[in-house]
Each structure stands twice: as structure tokens, then as C-alpha cells.
Chains A and B, each alone.
Chain A
């Protein structure tokens, strides 16, 4: 069964420290993965997706099919990165349905 696991509920780092939010998935086909972010008092929005291979707000994520992971990384955290982060997987076929992980709250301390 398709599943997305984010093992950390809360990740707390100091400003300027590196950040890695973990995401592991189980999926029998070729996965399409996303990171969505929810800043305080804002709606959930797309941060990045693996097929774009881009860096958004300094974040990158590489799909590792061998380890079935899609970890989100940033070399130097900023206070404005504090938010809830969700890893998500396209569920099946062409319906566009997403399976979300449990979410990780990133807290960047000054």
C-alpha cells in the first residue's frame, strides 16, 4: 500500500544551522513526490516537487529510489522557514489524489 512517513513531528534548529526534514515513502510504481508547506495563518501551498529539480527558498529535495526517500534540505535555516511541512505522494494513476505524511513542524530559533 502507498504510504508516506515523516518520522519527526517537531524539528527545532537554530538560525543558520542546516536543516533536513525526512520523508520516506512506499509505492509500487514510479513515484511523484511533493513538499507542501503551511506557514502560520497561511494556507497550505506547494514548496517543490521532485520532477522540477529546482530550489525554492533555498530548499532542495532529491528523490532516492534506492532508499525510498525524499528528504527536504536547506543548508542555512532562517527564522521565516518556521512552518509545518508535509511530504506528499501522488496516489494513483491520473486522478491527482495525494497521500500526505504526518507533517513535521520546523521551528527555527533566533
Chain B
């Protein structure tokens, strides 16, 4: 049982380049999330998807786009990378309480993608 899988683990980009971070979960969860982790800032929500076919903005969506390709996969795209997007990116998934009871809102995280934009 792999849980939440993120690729790549590391990436270095030049300013202006684009890339897509991939995330897949095999727990049949409805909801998926993208966070960025920065020193002193904690984890901040970039985008989330409450269910297949829906996406919505989080706290810090500017400069990012997402696609919920199917129930398993939720990708994050940087169209034109900037140094301010240097961060560690985490994908997570959960099955909200209204679908699976009180244990449903626990989030399960991927191992993270460490991105540097030069």
C-alpha cells in the first residue's frame, strides 16, 4: 500500500521554466491537497480538490494551477517559475467526515518535492 506518492522528489528550475508536480493516492480518497512548506511559515494550502472534477483555491494559489485528472491523481503546475516558489511541496489526501465518518478528515501526506528555482 503506497499511500500518497509524489514525483519528482527533487527539482531545480530556472526562472521562467514550467513544470508539473505529480501526486497519486491509492486510498480511494475523495479529497486531495497541495501545500507548500517554508521555514517559519508552516504549511500553507495552495489548492485543494474536494472531489473528482472540482478544484478550489487555498491560501496561496498565485502562480500555480492544478488538475484533478481522476480520483487518484492531482497535479500542480508552475507555468513560469519564480525564485519565490522555491519550497518543499507536499501533496495530501483525505476522505472527509461526511463520506467516511470521524476518521475521514485525517490527512495523509506524500514524501514531498523539494523545488529550487534559480
Contacts and interface: CB of A to CB of B under 8 A. Distances in A.
B29 to A, nearest CB: 9
Nearest to B112: A43
Interface string B95-107: 0111000101111
Residue from A86, A98, A103 whose CB has the most chain B CB atoms within 10 Å: A98
B94 interface: yes
Contacts of B108: 45
A43 B97 contact: no
B109 A97 contact: no
A49 B106 CA distance: 9
A96 B42 contact: no
B50 A95 contact: yes
B19 interface: no
Contacts of A102: 40-42
B102 A51 contact: yes
B interface residue count range (under 10 / 10 to 19 / 20 to 34 / 35 or more): 20 to 34
Interface in B1-51: 4, 31, 33, 35, 40-45, 48, 50
A86 B96 contact: no
A56 interface: no
Given A94-B98, A95-B50, A95-B96, A44 B44 contact: no
B61 interface: no
A25 interface: no
B43 A100 contact: yes
Contact of A90 (B41, B50, B98, B105): B105
Nearest to A94: B98
B107 to A, nearest CB: 6
Interface of B: 4, 31, 33, 35, 40-45, 48, 50, 58, 90, 92, 94, 96-98, 102, 104-112
Interface of A: 4, 6, 9, 32, 34, 36, 43-46, 49, 51, 86, 90-91, 94-103
The 5 residue pairs across chains A and B that have the minimum distance between CB atoms: A96-B96, A100-B43, A44-B109, A102-B42, A100-B42
